Amino acid sequence: MERHRITDVSVGVSPFSLNVARPSFRVRSLHRGASRASLRVPRVIRTVTVATALANPGIVPRSVDLEDLRARAATLTRLAEIQRTLHKLNEKVEDTTTKLGSDLYGVARSVYSVMKSPATVPGLTERKAKLGQRFARKASSRPNEAPSPAAA
């Protein structure tokens, strides 16, 4: 599998980038009533359509430039590969961020526990107060229960 560096990916995508958010582009280019999600064309449709159109140019409307159709399908295929690579990279970044955040949070809890002890290092009062605001236990949201008659 081909690996991409982030700069390679961003440089590789820029020639194909379109600003689909522009209203003028959207009106002219998207089919009426179609959303972005509904316009994601599966690979088999792209390949069969292009192969059929190139092999049988007589069945294609004259307004369709066959070479442009082939180029667009190839571009879409390359962008799909880049999108898969970015998706995998994003998942790895999210997993790593979650793991590192979890590790750091655990250490912070341990440090705060030590800071709460009376034998702590002097001068940490302000930091202890900041951590105390973050790690303060929330009051129980359960209503006070009436004592059972057996306990009375």
Is 64 within the bounds of a domain? yes
pLDDT in tens, 92-116: 999 999 999 999 999 999 988 888 8
* Segments forming the whole domain that contains residue 120: 6-134
Residue 55 or 46, more confident: 55
Domain count, the chain: 1
Is 146 within the bounds of a domain? no
Helices within the chain (DSSP H only): 6-13, 23-29, 43-55, 66-116, 125-135
Which among 113, 88, 122 has a CA at the least distance from the CA of 3? 88
| Predicted model pTM | 0.55
User: Using an 8 Å Cβ cutoff, are 29 and 39 in contact?
Assistant: no
Q: Which residue has the tokens 């303060």?
A: 136
User: What pLDDT sits at residue 133?
Assistant: 87
Q: Helix/strand/coil (H, E, C) string of 29-53?
A: HCCCCCCCHHHCCCHHHHHHHHHHH
In the predicted structure, residue 56 carries a pLDDT above the cut 60: yes
Is 43 within the bounds of a domain? yes
